[in-house]
C-alpha cells in the first residue's frame, strides 16, 4: 500500500520487494522514496535499484545524504 501511494504499480511493487529479500520492506521503500524525491519516476527508480541493488544495503541516512548531494550538484526533477 505504501508503494502504491508513492506511484508504484502492483507489478513494480512486486519487483521492488523481490530485490534483496533479506532486507525488510521498509528499507526498500525508504530507498525508493529517496529516488522519488530526486524527481525520478517509479519505473526509473525501480530500474536503478534493479541495476544497482547495493543501494538497498546502504543505511537510510547514508542514502539520504547521497541524494542530497546529487540535488546540490543539480540532479533534480529527474534531470
| C-alpha to C-alpha distance for 61 and 14, rounded to whole angstroms | 24
> Is the distance from CB of 6 to CB of 46 less than 8 angstroms?
no
In the three-class reduction of DSSP (H, G, I as helix; E, B as strand; rest coil), residue 26 is classed as helix
The domain ranges of the chain are 4-73
Q: How far is CA 37 from CA 21, 31, 68, in A?
A: 24, 10, 10
**pLDDT tens digit string along 47-58?**
999 999 888 888
* Global model pTM greater than 0.85: no
**pLDDT tens digit string along 4-62?**
999 999 999 999 989 988 888 888 888 898 888 888 899 999 999 999 988 888 887 88
Angle at 39 between CA 37 and CA 43, to 5 degrees: 100
Amino acid at each position: 500500500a505504501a508503494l502504491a501511494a508513492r506511484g508504484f504499480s502492483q507489478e513494480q511493487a512486486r519487483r521492488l520487494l523481490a530485490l534483496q529479500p533479506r532486507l525488510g520492506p521498509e528499507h526498500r521503500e525508504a530507498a525508493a522514496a529517496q529516488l522519488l524525491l530526486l524527481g525520478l519516476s517509479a519505473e526509473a527508480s525501480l530500474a536503478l535499484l534493479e541495476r544497482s541493488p547495493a543501494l538497498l544495503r546502504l543505511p537510510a541516512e547514508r542514502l539520504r545524504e547521497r541524494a542530497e548531494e546529487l540535488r546540490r550538484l543539480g540532479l533534480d526533477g529527474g534531470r
